[in-house]
Structure 1
């Protein structure tokens, strides 16, 4: 009897141990068995290959694929996987597109299930993230750190699904980076300009790691078109990437190059519509079985207005006919139900005027809005546009070639500006498609990551904020101790560049034609005092020194990563400021010209290191050019013997102290001040103004150079001092006016108001928002 009792006790004990949920564990050197369905989509098989590579890099694991009994069970959600999920989890997967669940089962096995094949792929690469692999593993040489053990706790569960349906990048202005690097270094080709499948595969791997799904290929005349390059389309199919195109590339055709090869006559839908339609038809027939987001409409062959139609009404009539004909092609060759074919219309530049004149865009077509090329969104959807079946998208720039000046070099675009504008866009209904113009990818790595993280999980990034997000990015790449030191460095780096981008330091402009335009190609003084110039040089030198000191703490396997993500952009920006600002001082005999020349030589040397690499053996040779388009600002400055006094803003200013606001949220890191204030419609911000002994007091209000939330409303505000009658002003700009150009280059929209002076010690300046979208940067008082 006693033996029976002991046996029963041991059995119960064993059962209790078995019933206890187990964690999911991976140990270095073990064989990882993955159970998967053999008929999974190509994107899932591609993601499995990437995960296999990552497990081997981090844990030296070998992967074996089995039908059953795997450590990891993966699959696109189906009836065989339902047994692992509760009803609520099944509902989540059924109601999401590209979503996934990671779940540690009671047995200690890890389940990765996607709502569709894209979701399964993102779930697999979420495991790569969890074991410590950076999305920039290849693109920034972020060699994974090796570990001996990885564990997820018993009961672990994570559900994710995208906030934005289509998320991706546009490789643009590739002439000085991606194109020469790809065709000469990555996959050398007898024909310059080929961006081939090896490069494309690495781009698409990055997109998968960033949970993106859409790609607009390079389209300049210097590059071979995507669909004319053997192997590219097959890579897109393996990686599940939707191929789209910009505002001047309708129907999956890279018109700038392809019209000269496949087209007949003029690219003109008024006088040559049959040949233009045939040009589009050839491509649609060819790619009908592939995942394409078709751009509708028509502009010029490249970035210009359409041929054959001059007035807005004429263009509207042509576009209406173009829409009808293009959708007929889609219904004939892609899907009889044309509303099931992803389509987008991009009212960019002059096309926005045509749209505003009443152009009728089919309801199922996504409307994609644009920024002004410098990060300030020009149009937010109206209530009617938000209700459209096709939804709304955004085409956004962190790199740009054009007026008033390019910024193609250093990737200094403010992440705080990006975060504020994209948050505004999302909250106002732009949730269908986000495309980021990234130039050559490098060196805009961080801007790309925060953009894609917001597109994937807007709520999480907004709760975290840019500060915490950037710190996590730096900690992942360089460790938490280095991240603590680097965060203020990068914040100051982006802040100084917001005040004046390195590319804007020559006081020059690009592509200005007509009488007197030649003056914009001559480097001249910025309206900065000697004191400010000296302080700015000192600030940059401090950043450069700190970056150099931290360099000694960086692990050897991340030294190239550090150079690409931190050292080159910060130190090259510092040297560019020294080159231009020492040059300005030298023009007035206040320093030696050698200081400017030495800074130029440092830029050349740093760029050489980037292209040669430190430990990557020249992997990036040709990717970095410090003088894109050979703009005057990039050249070494020529000493001159005639000195003149710089043109300065008259009078000294002091910054007014922000006293209080009526529900006015402050945006850390935003604007010249670094703490711009958003004033909601009908609310006020109040500033303390010191007493003045003068007859009048001039106040400069520096606003964010944004655009109206509602185009017809403008950006109107009321301003009053104490009990004075309020002034009503509007700081919105029209098109590419001189005022807009000055605002862009200076990072602010300035308005000056003069009040009768008051000797009272308690002066209160009140600024009240009359419209939505009022963002006040800082206030100066002329003394």
Structure 2
């Protein structure tokens, strides 16, 4: 009897152990998939086939009884026997299910064509293929086998419906690289279908679905380039446009070629209307996310209307006519046509003047180009049928200074602002200005992961997300060692980006802003920063010697170049500042410039010249990027004023802050809820007055255009506002140094214990640091 029980037990265990989905090296991967599946599904299968060949040295083959069953719910007859399994997809857009069946086969089902494609790409991830396998040369590792256990089930669907990137300021990177290296062409400024296919492949692997094409005048417009439309359809990509690119028209590049007269809807309505009509007719069957409204050519004000009231009147006519075109050519059910209206610059004034935007249209809000969102939807805007979107920058050309080069945008700031945006109802469209894609790889993935599954990213936070990224690309051991290095790299750049180290500005009339000059830092501060960067560079070199051969180029692109180029940029400018005061040799600055040159040459030579022309360490040839001119300082170097007390927000004595992981000068900033306070206790003050230096995140109001706090020392309280308007001088200073600063003096009694408190009077107050000085 015991033997029979044991036999049954071992048979049961054996069945459990053997009941699993498996793939083996050298053995064809067989799939069962209806030939009627949409194009993007077959595109995903082509990518997965390539991945199988790379990982398993095995082809992908179709079979009536494949070990992977693939289909789209409600479209594929193959799924009739799995109705109960796919029920979880009902009512969800772009969702997918992966499930290991009792017969050891894997079921991949999408709620629609996009969901099915994402499900296939998820299997690529599971077998070890990074989304960056081509764009960052993360060569997949060979595997002998791969398995999933019986009962394995994964259901995923997006948090944000439309997720994508905007290729912008492409003049020094993507455009010349495409036309000269990757896809040689005789057409000036052309970014062709071969290049766009690679961009769209990346988006598909990142589970993104939207693309705003490059639109500078130097670039041949997307729809005027043969093959681009077709490749977008192949990858299931919605094509959209920025705040000045309505109706799928790249106005800056297309109006001089297709338009007649002035781009003016007041004096030249017929020509402008025809300009839009031709494009809508052409792309009516394409997946388009239509931007509606109107601005001037490129990033300029609308012609023919000066005041906000005049602009409002013209825009009302524009919106009516544009939607009539969409009804006529795209879909009679206008609410079935995805549309977005972007209240930006002068268009925002018209919107605030009472412009009525149809309820089904998504309102898209913008950051201030430096990562701080300017407007969050109010209750009425949150309840709109069309929802809300955001256009966000991790790369920027413009005032007060560009940051187009190194991709050092703070992941902690991106996480804090986009989480706040999501929580405030911005959940329909997320578009990220990525410049040339490289070297903003990590920021792109973080943005897309948050847009895909906000709750999953929130569970671990920013450090855990970065840790997962680095471990995936470089293995557990190396990845874990890289986390603190990259966190410190981003923290130092948060304090001041490499592009801002010359204390110069762009687009300013005064020539003083074109001259590299001292930053307001003491010799001690400068040396501390130089040491911090030197330590990072040394650690990057040490780890680099342990990197496997198949990941050496990925390491250079994702870690070595950004960290060491930032290190050398700081050395170049800070050594020059010391040299101006006779405290360093000019040779140190020159050597740093040479190092940047060599590093960039190495980048452009990677993979036998694959990236030649993509990396330019002198975009726009701005003064900050040049070899520093040797001059002698007229004024003395700043002497650091030592604070009697100094705290980061999270070093509070009393209160209930909202920690902002990794945010702030020392990574310890905290948000303060409206109506609550953080308090800091100190004692034995020796003078009759005290100067309080409050340093906050330079963000914008969340509600009612106000951003205030009450600051008190013992019984004395003062109300302080720090909201900035437009591109004021204060705003420029704030975004360059990444802090809003207020200095307040209080009377104080000597000796005894004291309490300093900062109470938020509005939502959005984020405290970074406090310093106390004796007067």
TM-score (norm 1): 0.96
1:234-273 correspondence to structure 2 within 5 Å: 234-273=230-269
Alignment partner of 1:551 is 2:544 = yes
Alignment partner of 1:37 is 2:34 = yes
Alignment partner of 1:754 is 2:745 = yes
Task: Find the aligned partners of 2:381 and 2:7 in 1 and give their Cα distance.
Answer: 68
1:178-577 correspondence to structure 2 within 5 Å: 178-513=174-509, 517-577=510-570
Task: Find the aligned partners of 1:123 and 1:660 in 2 and give their Cα distance.
Answer: 49
- Change in 2 beyond 3 A, CA 1:28/1:589: same
Task: Find the aligned partners of 2:236 and 2:186 in 1 and give their Cα distance.
Answer: 29
Task: Find the aligned partners of 1:17 and 1:484 in 2 and give their Cα distance.
Answer: 37
1:411, CA displacement in angstroms? Answer: 0.2
1:684-695 correspondence to structure 2 within 5 Å: 684-695=677-688
8 Å contact 1:587–1:644 — kept in the other structure?
Answer: no
**DSSP-derived class of the 1:143 partner:** coil
1:94, CA displacement in angstroms? Answer: 1.4
**DSSP-derived class of the 1:158 partner:** strand
**DSSP-derived class of the 1:656 partner:** strand
Task: Find the aligned partners of 2:729 and 2:67 in 1 and give their Cα distance.
Answer: 64
Task: Find the aligned partners of 2:203 and 2:377 in 1 and give their Cα distance.
Answer: 27
1:94-113 correspondence to structure 2 within 5 Å: 94-113=90-109
User: Where does residue 726 of structure 2 map in the other structure?
Assistant: 735
**DSSP-derived class of the 1:675 partner:** coil
2:620 to 624, 629, 635: 629
Alignment partner of 1:782 is 2:745 = no
1:81, CA displacement in angstroms? Answer: 5.0
1:275, CA displacement in angstroms? Answer: 0.6
Matched pairs, number: 768
1:327, CA displacement in angstroms? Answer: 0.5
1:180, CA displacement in angstroms? Answer: 0.5
Task: Find the aligned partners of 1:274 and 1:169 in 2 and give their Cα distance.
Answer: 32
1:546-695 correspondence to structure 2 within 5 Å: 546-613=539-606, 616-641=607-632, 643-647=634-638, 652=643, 654-656=645-647, 658-695=651-688
User: Where does residue 3 of structure 1 map in the other structure?
Assistant: none
8 Å contact 1:21–1:107 — kept in the other structure?
Answer: no
1:782, CA displacement in angstroms? Answer: 2.1
**DSSP-derived class of the 2:344 partner:** coil
1:109-128 correspondence to structure 2 within 5 Å: 109-128=105-124
Structure 2: tracts of 5 or more residues without a match: none
8 Å contact 1:526–1:647 — kept in the other structure?
Answer: no
Task: Find the aligned partners of 2:564 and 2:16 in 1 and give their Cα distance.
Answer: 58
Task: Find the aligned partners of 1:86 and 1:268 in 2 and give their Cα distance.
Answer: 55
8 Å contact 1:141–1:561 — kept in the other structure?
Answer: yes
8 Å contact 2:98–2:154 — kept in the other structure?
Answer: yes
8 Å contact 1:576–1:600 — kept in the other structure?
Answer: yes
Task: Find the aligned partners of 1:605 and 1:10 in 2 and give their Cα distance.
Answer: 69
1:64-83 correspondence to structure 2 within 5 Å: 64-66=61-63, 68-78=64-74, 80-82=77-79
8 Å contact 1:370–1:379 — kept in the other structure?
Answer: yes
1:63 to 53, 60, 82: 60
Stretch moving more, 420-429 or 73-82: 73-82
Deviation string for 1:447-494 (max 9, x for gaps)?
000000000000000111010100110001111111121111100000
1:672, CA displacement in angstroms? Answer: 1.3
- Change in 2 beyond 3 A, CA 1:727/1:635: same
- Change in 2 beyond 3 A, CA 1:21/1:336: farther
Task: Find the aligned partners of 1:18 and 1:544 in 2 and give their Cα distance.
Answer: 53
1:643, CA displacement in angstroms? Answer: 4.5
1:642, CA displacement in angstroms? Answer: 5.2
TM-score (norm 2): 0.97
Task: Find the aligned partners of 1:353 and 1:21 in 2 and give their Cα distance.
Answer: 66
Task: Find the aligned partners of 1:563 and 1:670 in 2 and give their Cα distance.
Answer: 26
Stretch moving more, 354-363 or 527-536: 354-363
Task: Find the aligned partners of 2:533 and 2:696 in 1 and give their Cα distance.
Answer: 25
1:495, CA displacement in angstroms? Answer: 0.3
1:652, CA displacement in angstroms? Answer: 4.8
8 Å contact 1:210–1:449 — kept in the other structure?
Answer: yes
1:758, CA displacement in angstroms? Answer: 2.9
8 Å contact 2:252–2:297 — kept in the other structure?
Answer: yes
Alignment partner of 1:49 is 2:40 = no
Deviation string for 1:216-237 (max 9, x for gaps)?
0000011110000111110001
1:689, CA displacement in angstroms? Answer: 3.0
1:431, CA displacement in angstroms? Answer: 0.3
Task: Find the aligned partners of 1:624 and 1:317 in 2 and give their Cα distance.
Answer: 45
Deviation string for 1:143-172 (max 9, x for gaps)?
001110101011100000000000000000
Task: Find the aligned partners of 1:649 and 1:592 in 2 and give their Cα distance.
Answer: 22
Deviation string for 1:333-377 (max 9, x for gaps)?
111111111100011122112111111101100000000000000
Task: Find the aligned partners of 2:407 and 2:13 in 1 and give their Cα distance.
Answer: 57
Stretch moving more, 127-136 or 643-652: 643-652
- Change in 2 beyond 3 A, CA 1:472/1:12: closer
8 Å contact 1:59–1:146 — kept in the other structure?
Answer: yes
What is the Cα-based RMSD across aligned positions, in Å? 1.9
1:781, CA displacement in angstroms? Answer: 1.3
User: Where does residue 720 of structure 1 map in the other structure?
Assistant: 712
Task: Find the aligned partners of 2:45 and 2:104 in 1 and give their Cα distance.
Answer: 20
Deviation string for 1:481-532 (max 9, x for gaps)?
111211111000000000000011111111123xxx2211111110000000
Task: Find the aligned partners of 1:606 and 1:13 in 2 and give their Cα distance.
Answer: 61
1:28 to 16, 25, 37: 25
Task: Find the aligned partners of 2:631 and 2:322 in 1 and give their Cα distance.
Answer: 59
- Change in 2 beyond 3 A, CA 1:684/1:16: closer
8 Å contact 1:100–1:115 — kept in the other structure?
Answer: yes
- Change in 2 beyond 3 A, CA 1:558/1:650: same
**DSSP-derived class of the 1:122 partner:** helix
1:446, CA displacement in angstroms? Answer: 0.1
Task: Find the aligned partners of 1:11 and 1:409 in 2 and give their Cα distance.
Answer: 66
Deviation string for 1:407-453 (max 9, x for gaps)?
00000000000000000000110000000000000000000000000
8 Å contact 1:180–1:192 — kept in the other structure?
Answer: no
1:10, CA displacement in angstroms? Answer: 11
- Change in 2 beyond 3 A, CA 1:648/1:178: farther
Deviation string for 1:571-625 (max 9, x for gaps)?
0000000000000011111111111000000000000000011xx1010000000
1:192, CA displacement in angstroms? Answer: 3.1
Task: Find the aligned partners of 2:425 and 2:81 in 1 and give their Cα distance.
Answer: 35
1:673, CA displacement in angstroms? Answer: 2.6
8 Å contact 2:461–2:661 — kept in the other structure?
Answer: no
Task: Find the aligned partners of 2:292 and 2:683 in 1 and give their Cα distance.
Answer: 57
Task: Find the aligned partners of 2:173 and 2:471 in 1 and give their Cα distance.
Answer: 28
1:31, CA displacement in angstroms? Answer: 1.1
8 Å contact 2:688–2:750 — kept in the other structure?
Answer: no
8 Å contact 2:86–2:109 — kept in the other structure?
Answer: no
